[in-house]
Amino acid sequence: MTSDSLIENLSADLQEFELLMQTATRPNVKDFLHNKLSEIKVNIEKLEKAKLASQTQTDEVAVKSTLYTTKISQYGWDESSKFVRLYVTIPQIENLREDQISCEFTSTSVKFIAQNHLNKNHLLQIVGLAYSIVPKESTCKIKSGNVVISMKKDKEGRTW
C-alpha cells in the first residue's frame, strides 16, 4: 500500500470515528473514541511528514545530479616559515553551509570542494605537493568571497 492510500484510509477512518464520537453517550466509549482519534491524527501527520521528506530528498537528488564540477586552476599562494597558504577567490562562498564545504589533507596532497554553489561544484585538488605537510595542523577558512587553505609544513623554515 502506498503512503497516499494509507493517508486516504486513515482520513476515512478519522471521519467515521468523528461521527461515532458525536453519537456516543457513554464516558468510557467517548474516551476510547477520543484516544483512537488522537492516534489516527498522529499517524496521518507522520505519514505526511515522511511523504514530504521523501519528496524533498528526491528533489535534492535531482538538483545534485544536474550539477557539474569546475576545477579551480587559478589561485594565489604564499609561504611563511611554518605554513604554505593557498588563496582561492569564489564569489559568495561565505553563503554556503558548513556541510557544503570540505577540505581534506594528506601528507602530500590537499583537496577542497564547495558543493552546490551557484549551481555547480568547485574543486581544488593538488596531489604531490613539493614537500610534506602536517594534515592535522592544516586548516581551511572561509572569508568573504575567499577561501584560505593553510598547510602546515612538516619541516619549519624549508622554502617551497
CATH code (residue 114): 2.60.40.790
Q: Say whether both 45 and 117 belong to one domain.
A: no
pLDDT on residue 60: 61
Q: Say whether both 21 and 82 belong to one domain.
A: no
Q: Say whether both 7 and 78 belong to one domain.
A: no
Residue for grid cell 515522511: 50
Q: Say whether both 28 and 74 belong to one domain.
A: no
Ramachandran area for residue 32 (φ above 0: left; ψ -120 to 50: alpha; else beta): alpha
Query: Residue 109's domain spans which residues?
Result: 69-153
pLDDT on residue 52: 82
Mention every residue, 6+ apart, whose C-beta is less than 8 A from residue 40. Answer: 10, 13, 14, 17
pLDDT on residue 158: 94
pLDDT on residue 111: 97
In total, how many domains does the chain have?
A: 2
Question: What DSSP element (H or E) covers 20?
Answer: helix 3-23
Q: Say whether both 81 and 123 belong to one domain.
A: yes
Q: Quick check: is 26 in a domain?
A: yes
CA-angle at 96, arms to 93 and 99, nearest 5°: 130
Of 124, 141, 146, 138, which Cα lies nearest the Cα of 82?
A: 138
Q: Quick check: is 46 in a domain?
A: yes
Q: What is the DSSP-derived secondary structure letter of residue 130?
A: S
CA-angle at 19, arms to 13 and 25, nearest 5°: 125
Q: Say whether both 38 and 91 belong to one domain.
A: no
pTM greater than 0.85 (yes/no): no
Q: Say whether both 144 and 84 belong to one domain.
A: yes
Q: Say whether both 17 and 92 belong to one domain.
A: no
The pLDDT tens digits along the chain (160 residues) read: 777 888 899 899 989 989 998 999 999 998 898 889 899 999 899 888 888 887 777 666 655 557 899 999 999 999 999 999 999 999 999 999 999 999 999 999 999 999 999 889 999 999 999 999 999 999 999 999 999 999 999 999 999 9
Q: Say whether both 73 and 147 belong to one domain.
A: yes
Q: Say whether both 15 and 46 belong to one domain.
A: yes
